[in-house]
Amino acid sequence: MDKAIAEVASFTVTLMIRRFDPEVDQEPKWVDYDVEMFGTDRVLDALHKIKWEIDGSLTFRRSCAHGVCGSDAMRINGRNRLACKTLIKDLDISNPIYIEPIKGLPVEKDLIVNMEPFYQAYRDINPFLMASDTPAKERLQSPEDRARYDDTTKCILCAACTTSCPVFWTDGQYFGPAAIVNAHRFIFDSRDEGAQVRIDILNDKEGVWRCRTTFNCTEACPRGIEVTKAIAEVKQAILRGRP
Amino acid sequence: MAVIIETPNSPRTRKQANWEKYGWLFMRVSGPLLIVLIFTHLVVNLVVGDGIKAIDFAFVAGKWADPFWQVWDMAMLWLALIHGTNGMRTIVNDYVEKETLRKGLVTTLWAVGGLLILLGTLVIFTFDPCPAGAAAELLPSFCPAN
């Protein structure tokens, strides 16, 4: 086999990482690292390389590393993405790659933020099936009824959407796109009986009416959920008073 | 730490009356209405007939002598000012973090908006191009006093 074809091109790339150690630093600071990467590597691989070979104190979350668990959402070159789904070669490697923690949630250390306010909003919309009948047998649903909320079942709670929302940056009380997406998933589920409860919860000063339709959330979603559309559908459900 | 969700099937009790839904709806309804009102206003004033050359004091006086244009201009005034003030209110709500400052700004906005609506409505319905007892040199040429 031709050696040139078999080899994956390698290149040196500079990563500027926003680092913060609460035991030492007063303010977060930018630290740069030069790493030799390959065309098949993702941003997460570069972070691993830094943590494992250069500076073991670099702190970030990751679990499955394949875009399913939603642990490694971060701000890469100013955009919220999953580090495990962003290939380095797709970024502009002639300039440093800037990596920051997601915005709007308190930074705990380096790229790790406190997700608790985000999860609290999620819990507040009752993210579980509400049904009055006893679960003695399957609850059947037509393919059309299932398709109604298919898009919003894809959410992995990575917080990329909520922390890309300018309203959430300035108003931490706002439920945020992710919570509304997960409410949408149950409001439009034909088997669920709790739509009124969720509609009432989101018809709040800090509910869907805070949305300014900037589409940041739709652009940020690593799962390709049409978040702004889901929020608009919840708005319409509230105006109608039913799903 | 266990998460305890109390009686999830009972609706959350409303803390206070919530106007956000109606505010949002008003913006969606008044927006398209304003487009029709304003562009018709512009066409009637600037294009139809003699166009822009026809506009003078007498033109305005003539329009406000007609109840149709009085209602038209009032609708424009009310919708535009409430639409604009409500838009400013949402921006203040989004970006002002101090509660006292936020309340102060929102109150000021509605006070100014309300005053402008009041003055504008007063002018539209009490406008008299030839007030009795005014000095003759201050009156327009079409007034019977001249």
pLDDT for residue A81: 96
Is residue B146 pLDDT above 70, yes or no? no
A73 to chain B, any CB pair closer than 8 A? The answer is: no
Looking at residue A120, its pLDDT comes to 94
Please name the residue that has the structure tokens 């329009």. B63
pLDDT for A171: 84
- For the segment A77-91, the average pLDDT, to the nearest whole number, is 96
Are the C-beta atoms of A66 and A84 separated by less than 8 Å? yes
Which residue of chain B comes nearest to A205, CA vs CA?
Answer: B20
Q: Are A239 and B95 in contact (CB < 8 Å)? A: no
Select the residue of B3, B14, B94 nearest A123 (Cβ to Cβ): B3
Confidence of residue B143 (pLDDT cuts 50, 70, 90): confident
Q: Which residue has the tokens 């406190």?
A: A114
Helix extents (H) in B65-98: 67-95
Specify the range with the lowest mean pLDDT, choosing from A120-129, A146-155, A226-235, B4-13.
B4-13
pLDDT of residue A208 exceeding 60, the answer is yes
User: Are residues B122 and B116 in contact, defined by beta-carbon separation less than 8 angstroms?
Assistant: no
CA atoms of A109 and A111, how far apart (whole Å) = 6
Report whether A103 contacts A158 (CB < 8 A).
no
Tell me, what's the pLDDT at A166? 92
HSE, side-chain direction, 13 A CA sphere, residue A218: 13
Share of chain B above pLDDT 70, in %: 87
Distance CA A74, CA A77 (A): 10
Q: What mean pLDDT do residues B112-118 have? A: 97
Contact assignment for A200 to B12 by CB distance below 8 Å: yes
Identity of the residue in A167, A196, A238 whose CB atom sits nearest the CB atom of B94? A167
What's residue B52's pLDDT?
86
Mean pLDDT of A93-99: 96
Q: Which amino acid does the sequence have at A230? A: A
| Mean pLDDT along residues B43-57 | 87
Q: How far is B29 from chain A (nearest CA, A)?
A: 13
Task: Mark yes or no for CB contact B23/A201 under 8 Å.
Answer: no
Query: What whole-number distance in Å separates Cα of residue A188 and Cα of residue A149?
Result: 6
Q: Which helix (H) or strand (E) holds A34?
A: strand A29-38
Nearest CA to CA, how far is B65 from chain A (Å)? 40
SS3 content of chain B, % helix, strand, coil (to 5): 70, 0, 30
Across the interface, do B21 and A128 touch by the CB < 8 Å criterion?
Answer: no
User: How many Å lie between the alpha carbon of A34 and the closest alpha carbon of chain B?
Assistant: 38
Q: What is the pLDDT of residues B120-139, one digit of tens each?
A: 999 999 988 888 777 777 77
Over the stretch A109-162, which tens digit does the pLDDT of each residue have?
999 999 999 999 999 999 999 998 888 889 999 999 999 999 999 999 999 999
Please give the pLDDT value at position B17: 57
Q: What is the mean pLDDT of residues B101-123?
A: 96
- Closest to A37 (Cα-Cα) out of A47, A52, A27: A47
Note the pLDDT of residue B131.
81
Q: Does position A242 have pLDDT exceeding 90, yes or no?
A: no
For A37, other C-beta atoms within 10 Å of its C-beta total 21
Confidence of residue A5 (pLDDT cuts 50, 70, 90): low
How does the average pLDDT of chain A come out, rounded?
94
Q: Which residues of A are less than 8 Å from B11 in CB distance? A: 196-197, 200-201
Chain B positions touching A209 (Cβ under 8 A) are 20-21, 23-24
Helix (H, G, I), strand (E, B) or coil at A73: strand
Which of B12, B26, B86, B97 to mutate to test binding with chain A, by most A CBs within 10 Å of its CB?
Answer: B12
Identify residue B41 by its one-letter amino acid code.
H
Smallest CA-to-CA distance from A201 within A121, A128, A95 is with A121
**Chain B CB within 8 Å of residue A196 CB:** yes
CA dihedral A183, A62, A169, A167 (to 10 degrees): -30
For residue A196, which residues of chain B lie inside 8 Å, CB to CB? 11
At B6 the pLDDT is 53
For tokens 């993702």, the residue is A42
Q: Does A128 touch chain B (CB under 8 A)?
A: yes
Given this model, what pLDDT does residue B139 score? 78
A78-104 average pLDDT score: 96
Nearest Cα to Cα of residue A64 among A153, A156, A182: A156
Least confident of B31-35, B71-75, B124-128: B124-128
Q: Is the pLDDT assigned to residue B7 strictly greater than 60?
A: no
Question: Per the CB < 8 Å rule, is B23 touching A209?
Answer: yes
A203/B contact by beta carbon, under 8 A: yes
For residue range B84-106, what is the model confidence (pLDDT) as tens digits? 999 999 999 888 888 999 999 99
Chain B residue set in contact with A, beta carbons under 8 Å = 3, 5, 8-12, 14, 18, 20-21, 23-25, 90, 93-95, 97
